[in-house]
Amino acid sequence: MSSWDGVLRGGRVIDPESGLDAIRDVAVAQGRIAAIGRGLPPAPAEVDVAGLVVTAGFVDLHSHVNDVAGLRLQALDGVTTALELEAGMTPVAAAYRHAAAEGRPVNYGFATSWALARMHAVAGIRPRGTLGTFLASIGDPAWQRRARPAEVAALLSALADDLADGALGIGILVGYAPAVSPAEYLQVATLAAAAGGPTFTHARDLIEMVPGTVIDGAEEIVRAAGQTGAHMHYCHVNSTSQRHIERVLALVSRAQAAGARVTTEAYPYGYAMTGIGAAFLAPERLAERGLVPSSLTYAPTGERVSGTERLRELRRTDPGGLAMIELLDENEPSDRALLMRSLTFPGSVVASDAMPLTWTAPPPDPVGWPLPKTAVTHPRTAGTFARAVRLLARGEGRLGLPEALRKCSLGPAQLLQDRVPAMRRKGRLQSACDADVVVFDPAGITDRASYADSTRPSAGIRHVLVNGTFVVRNGELVHEALPGRAVRAEPR
């Protein structure tokens, strides 16, 4: 008997970095991969995984889920690390403390938040290290106005403090404050470049949608990379680009070829979700995105917004209330092709934009399982990765399994590893790497969550280990398992 804790025996082990794709045993000990080989000696826990794929757990760069219940849905989708990088959090120390105190089924980590730092510096809204603060004030014009130099200095100093505290980068929700000076955006990028941290941008409006925008959202990201040397990550290029994805990706390609560090991510759904009070959902602005009020479904009641008056009312009474937004039609071949293009674009990674659960009635037990039907979300929360693997490996993406998996694990880990050396041990299935592992049926892996039934867990995911501990076993959630650890940067 070996000294290992367990062996996953006889699975098809895929590691996109080394190119390994073969039948192997995988031994786990003390939270790490201890050995990969043929005919490994027995261990106390033996798990037969013949016929299944064994690979690194999925690394989600874009998860707004910050509670146990929602993260369980992500674990059931193969996610072993869920990071809040686009909105970010501030103070990050408070966010890390809160997650550690509650316990997490998967690994967690946070960027600092330009929007929250700005809300504080410009509008006096005190951040508490939660997304709730952002959503509650999402539509408040007070934080979106142009800032005075002293206010910019104050928000930059808050971001710098968080970066020194281990924040993974800077989240920049500039698309929610479309009138902010482009000079301020460049100052944030300059700070990121100096700190050696990536930025994660929800882009401003594109010029095709808003001819009067202060700067084209795609040009702004690319320009900041070229001008400051910062690593600019372009969040959900699918949803903010809509039917202009080809133009945006061509721009990104040119910048990359010229040496700028611009990376992209996408999620495989046509509909978006955000707080109904967002600036770009104002009734008079819907037409810019080809929307009408009934293109929005308000999650707390499930109602399709009936008209302009109702939209105004909801924006006034519950600006942070989440709404589904019908941007692209997945049943329309041309829209579907655009979505696939955003996912198959070279180097683009899969990221879910997973949303917090909306409770249509108070939960009887916030960590009860299974989730009651009173919890709703965007299906991307529960299904992004299984859906992406299905579409990219088996469906119209035609990438094959190793390349599809690269976009879900290795790609996101590599994107962060300069600032976060701990990410060098994630996204890979190799000896000495963290035992964050997903085991799935390659023929059966698929999402089951839909717009109408948004919390159905994915299918075909047989086992998920986080730091060597099962959080999903034989397709079932392990209720008591909270093995997630903090992922932090090592500041320069």
| Positions in the binding site for Zn ion (CB under 5 A) | 202
Q: Which is nearer to Zn ion, 204 or 448 (CB)?
A: 204
**3-class SS letters over 131-186:** HHHHHHCCCCHHHCCCCCHHHHHHHHHHHHHHHHCCCCCEEECHHHCCCCCHHHHH
Q: Which is nearer to Zn ion, 118 or 202 (CB)?
A: 202
- How many other β-carbons are positioned within 10 Å of the β-carbon of residue 19? 9
- How many other β-carbons are positioned within 10 Å of the β-carbon of residue 11? 25
Q: Which is nearer to Zn ion, 350 or 478 (CB)?
A: 350
Q: Which of 204, 213, 202, 319 is nearest to 267 (CA)?
A: 202
Cα separation, 131 vs 35, in Å, equals 40
Q: Which is nearer to Zn ion, 7 or 221 (CB)?
A: 221
Q: Is the dihedral of CA 305, 306, 308, 310 positive or negative?
A: negative
Look at the block and give the residue holding tokens 């603060």.
133
For residue 449, give the amino acid letter: A
Q: Give backbone dihedrals phi and psi of 161, rounded to 5 degrees, phi first.
A: -60, -45
Smallest distance from Zn ion to CB 240, Å: 7
Smallest distance from Zn ion to CB 217, Å: 12
Smallest distance from Zn ion to CB 356, Å: 13
30 CB burial (10 A radius; 0-12, 13-18, 19+): exposed
Smallest distance from Zn ion to CB 378, Å: 12
Smallest distance from Zn ion to CB 144, Å: 16
374 CB burial (10 A radius; 0-12, 13-18, 19+): middle
- Count of CA atoms in the C-beta half-sphere (13 A) of 104: 27
Q: Which is nearer to Zn ion, 69 or 174 (CB)?
A: 174
Q: Which is nearer to Zn ion, 201 or 295 (CB)?
A: 201
Q: Which of 432, 124, 138 is nearest to 278 (CA)?
A: 138
Smallest distance from Zn ion to CB 297, Å: 18
Smallest distance from Zn ion to CB 236, Å: 6
The DSSP result for 395-420, as a single string, is STT---HHHHHHTTTHHHHHHHTTT-
Smallest distance from Zn ion to CB 281, Å: 13
Smallest distance from Zn ion to CB 91, Å: 21
Q: Which is nearer to Zn ion, 265 or 447 (CB)?
A: 265
Q: Which is nearer to Zn ion, 131 or 461 (CB)?
A: 131
Cα separation, 197 vs 273, in Å, equals 27
Cα separation, 84 vs 399, in Å, equals 28
Cα separation, 285 vs 304, in Å, equals 18
The residue with its CB nearest to Zn ion is 202
Q: Which is nearer to Zn ion, 168 or 410 (CB)?
A: 168
Q: Which is nearer to Zn ion, 55 or 381 (CB)?
A: 381
Smallest distance from Zn ion to CB 464, Å: 26
Query: Listing from the earlier edge strand, what are the strands of the sheet with 271-275?
Result: 271-275, 322-326, 296-298, 303-304
**Contact in structure between 221 and 232 (CB atoms under 8 Å):** yes
